[in-house]
Chain A
Amino acid sequence: MASATDSRYGQKESSDQNFDYMFKILIIGNSSVGKTSFLFRYADDSFTPAFVSTVGIDFKVKTIYRNDKRIKLQIWDTAGQERYRTITTAYYRGAMGFILMYDITNEESFNAVQDWSTQIKTYSWDNAQVLLVGNKCDMEDERVVSSERGRQLADHLGFEFFEASAKDNINVKQTFERLVDVICEKMSESLDTADPAVTGAKQGPQLTDQQAPPHQDCAC
């Protein structure tokens, strides 16, 4: 990867303090499902068909304007390969939200979603917000995972669902913006149940109901 340009980009963005708050987002999923492409499309609006495997971790920074607030996103791109797993899982704990990605032309990557979700439950905080994304939806001819199966799995896991294409720039921006909104909702929720008795009571059931988290209606 062109690391020189990357770091310049990062520096320019990093010195900018003109934002209201910062969210950290992690993109996970099997190798070659298109995590890096997805991020590059979002942050740089660029796409290269060549496959370059991510080494360990990388990130990009993008500041967006959402709900009257400037939000700086630090979006972490993880290596899908198993051998980097100890490094990538270390980053789960700092992430407020996740994009869990599979490739609609790759059955195996879809089957692994359940395992990735378990990883999130293990290593991340309890209110971690997850969006399930089926990438490469431009390759309709090679599709092996139907939209319906993707949606069902997302419902089952309590995640929101998008099909997207980094190549054709479909649903990329929407995915990130939806994730930001959901994190915002969680944030208000956590702050406005200020009474410790209330939060304490809420804590119990939330820990157990992993199958059906509350439905999220946008009220942010």
Chain B
Amino acid sequence: MAHEVNLHSLQESERETILQVLYRDREIQNVEEERIRKLKTHLQHLRWRGRKNVSQEYKEKSCARCQRALGFLLNRGAVCQGCSHRVCAECRVFLRSARAWKCTVCFEDRNVKIKTGEWFFEERAKKFPAGGKHETAGAKLLQSYQKLSKISVVPPTPPPLSESQCSGSPSRLQELGQFKGFNKSVENLFLSVTTHMKKLSKSQNDMSSDKQQPATGPRQSAGQTERRSQSDTAINVATRKVSTPDLLKPLAQESPKRTTSPVLKQEDRLSSPAPTPLFSGGWRHGSLISINSTCTEMGNFDNTHVTGEIEFAIRYCFRAHSLEICIQACKNLAYGEEKKKKCNPYVKTYLLPDRSSQGKRKTGVQKNTVEPTFQETLKYQVEPAQLGTRQLQVSVWHLGTLARRAFLGEVIVPLATWDFEDSATQSFRWYPLRAKEKCEDSVPPSNGELAVRAKLVLPTEPRKPPEAQGGTGDQPSQNGQLCLVVLGAKNLPVRPDGTLNSFVKGCLTLPDQQRLRLKSPVLKKQACPQWKHSFVFKGVTPSQLRQSSLELTVWDQATFGVSDRLLGGARLGSKDEPAAGADACPQSKLQWQKVLSSPNLWTDLTLTLH
């Protein structure tokens, strides 16, 4: 919108009333954001699955969606109008109104556009191409509130907004970023700078790359062999566009780190308004999606009753440090779609507790059978010492139309008690399939524990009268500090060699959606890292904190330019998003309240990472 909302004309009580509405709205937005994230993840997953490998030649005739080979005369496939890929007859969805059809991915793309409201944002962008695509009035108003609270500290007549900003905010880049006519060239500048930084940081094994990962990753790897349609990429582009202001943050934070100080300066950021809250949550929309495996891990699948057995053998080659799971067959499986008596089973394995996509192995999909024969070997590179800490999870899934999955049963084999040297254990065996355990469904699995010490530091001297406050950059109303010492973590999902190059990110989200981010140094080659690193969030008041949320995430630093792996995270704070409610267990909630209610005292917290 071309104008700032002027709140000065309102009475204090009116402002308060409106603010309550804004907070309520933001809660709804948060839930909506979460829902949209899930939908997009699901779509992304569909795309990746259907993606042709770079190694796979395009002329090799196969369905772009289910990868099934296409014939020369029969079942030749046809080209989808949406994405120009050739797909087989089963991967087409006919639209209700017309004779036209779309391939499963294009159809899902359409669905997601409806469900996320993306269709509206696209239509709206035709009329307002300059504005932020997902920007909401509520977010803008909250910004105005923030400015207002800053200005009203200055006594007699408040200076015009623009002036106060220029003098108050040293961060020129950020100012440009939120300038109304935020034009293409500036945007490009940011992008190129960020890309440049990315290159730099790659060489240092740094972690700023994860911000761009979701947008660029899949498309880069898709390579030149694949033609992509507009509709295929539209949502990616949108996500990326909107997150552009967010790219500033790694920039702003990276530079001081390059010098020496591990504790980053936060004052600058406080004086600049928050970016649009919708979609600006860098890490949540970024690596979490790309790393965490698939929609099935988010509970997005159909449950059937579990029957049948699976036959497999487990071998470990001590010389090659290679664990082999030979999946032979299943029998008497339940139908994935009971009504249609359809079942397209496949087998998936993890070495728990690692549920990342790197730890996932899958067999091919067998079509239309409840007695599939796989005869496939899934391999893991694992150190012998690591084996004892892992559990092999073998699960059977049905792949339905539109990539809807149904869980058909699983077997969990604790490897600690497995005798790999006894040849008798290496033969094939039938294992009865079991349903997922209840607790696992409701409570996300733990990915280790993080020990933290926290203290809220408040000034001890009596408050100065408000008249004396103007002018200086040090605002007494905001000079509380949240001090955290990240002590260490244990039981993390380690790499196959039993180590990690881990670091911790802290993100404090203030009530106005402003995010303060800090990061610990990387500790190399340790399974139970002890960072003993302190995070200091400056300029926060207790009342702000009560409505803030603090997210601590533990990451494994990437090695070969891939994105860093999220090991787990925990969230603290009273203003939990309802959707993420599972994150905050009552115990840590209590501990967090203790931190807030007993200023200037250290509180120890043990957080379970999810």
Identify the A interface with B (CB < 8 A).
3, 6-7, 10-11, 14-17, 20-22, 55-59, 61, 74, 83, 86-87, 89-91, 93-94, 96, 123, 125-127, 187-188, 190-192, 194, 196, 203
CB contacts (< 8 Å) of A190 on chain B: these are 119, 122-123
> Given that A14-B24, A55-B18, A57-B18 are contacting pairs, would A127 and B114 also be in contact in the complex, using a CB cutoff of 8 Å?
no
Cβ of B21: which chain A residues have Cβ within 8 Å of it?
Answer: 56-59
Extra contacts, 7 of them, besides A22-B117, A87-B5, A125-B127 (Cβ < 8 A), are A15-B578, A55-B17, A57-B18, A58-B21, A90-B5, A187-B119, A187-B120
Docked Cα-Cα span, A10 to B20, in Å, equals: 11
Q: With a CB–CB cut-off of 8 A, which chain B residues contact A90?
A: 1, 5, 137, 140-141
Q: How far is the CB of B506 from chain A (nearest CB, A)?
A: 26
Stretch at the interface among B28-36, B385-393, B425-433: B28-36
Contact string, B87-119, partner A, CB cutoff 8 A, digits 1/0? 000000001011000000000001001111101
A188 to B5: give the CA distance in the assembly, Å.
34
6 interchain residue pairs of minimum CB distance: A15-B578, A90-B137, A125-B124, A56-B18, A14-B28, A55-B17
Distance (Å) between the CB of B567 and the closest chain A CB? 27
Contact status A187-B114, CB under 8 Å: yes
> B residues within 8 A CB of A58?
21
Q: Which of B1-45 contact A (CB under 8 A)?
A: 1, 3, 5-6, 9-10, 14, 17-18, 20-21, 24-25, 27-28, 31-32, 34-35
- B128 close to chain A: CB less than 8 A: yes
- Report if A191-B14 is in contact (Cβ < 8 Å); known contacts: A17-B34, A21-B117, A93-B124: no
Q: Is the CB of A87 within 8 A of B82?
A: no
For this complex, 29 residue pairs linking A to B, each with C-beta atoms less than 8 Å apart, are A3-B20, A6-B24, A15-B579, A17-B34, A21-B114, A22-B32, A55-B17, A55-B18, A56-B10, A57-B18, A59-B25, A61-B28, A74-B28, A83-B9, A86-B5, A86-B6, A87-B18, A90-B5, A90-B141, A94-B137, A125-B124, A125-B127, A126-B123, A187-B120, A190-B119, A190-B123, A191-B113, A194-B81, A196-B230
Q: Is the CB of B82 within 8 A of A194?
A: yes
Expressed in whole angstroms, the Cα–Cα distance for A101 and B97 within the complex equals 34
Identify the closest chain A residue to B577 (Cβ): A15
Give complex CA distance A15, B578 in Å. Answer: 6
Closest to A4 in B: B20
How far is B4's CA from A90's CA once the two chains are assembled, in angstroms? Answer: 9
Say yes or no: is B231 at the interface (Cβ < 8 Å to chain A): yes
**B126 contacts the other chain (CB 8 A):** yes
Is B364 an interface residue, CB under 8 A from the partner? no
Residue numbers in B under 8 Å from A86 (CB-CB): 3, 5-6
A126: chain B residues within 8 A (beta carbon)? 123, 126-127
Q: How far is the CA of A56 from the CA of B17 in the complex (A)?
A: 8
Residue among B10, B126, B140, B578 making CB contact with A14, cutoff 8 Å: B578
Q: Which residue of chain A has the shortest Cβ distance to B6 in the bound complex?
A: A86
Contacts of B9 in A (CB 8 A): 83
Contacts of A22 in B (CB 8 A): 32, 117
Contact in complex: B24, A10 (CB < 8 Å): yes
Distance in Å: Cβ of A31 to nearest Cβ of chain B? 15
Who on chain A is nearest to B81 by CB? Answer: A194
Report yes or no: A191 in contact with B126, Cβ–Cβ below 8 A. no
Q: What are the residues of chain A within 8 A of B141 when measuring CB–CB?
A: 87, 90
The CB with the most chain A CB atoms within 10 A, among B5, B28, B115, is that of B28
Chain B residue contacts of A11, Cβ below 8 A: 24, 27, 578
Residues of A within 8 Å of B123, CB to CB, are 125-127, 190
The answer on a CB contact under 8 Å between B579 and A94 is: no
Residues of chain B in range 215-242 having any CB-CB distance to chain A below 8 Å: 230-231
Q: Which residues of A contact B137 (CB under 8 A)?
A: 90-91, 93-94
Are the CB atoms of B18 and A17 closer together than 8 Å? no
Closest Cβ of chain A to B263, distance in Å, is 37
Whether B31 pairs with A14 at a CB distance below 8 angstroms is yes
Complex Cα distance, B9 from A96, in Å, reads: 29
A91 to B140, CA, bound (A): 10
Residues of A within 8 A of B126 (CB): 125-126, 203
Q: Which residues of B contact A3 (CB under 8 A)?
A: 17, 20
Complex-state Cα separation, A91 to B31, whole angstroms: 19
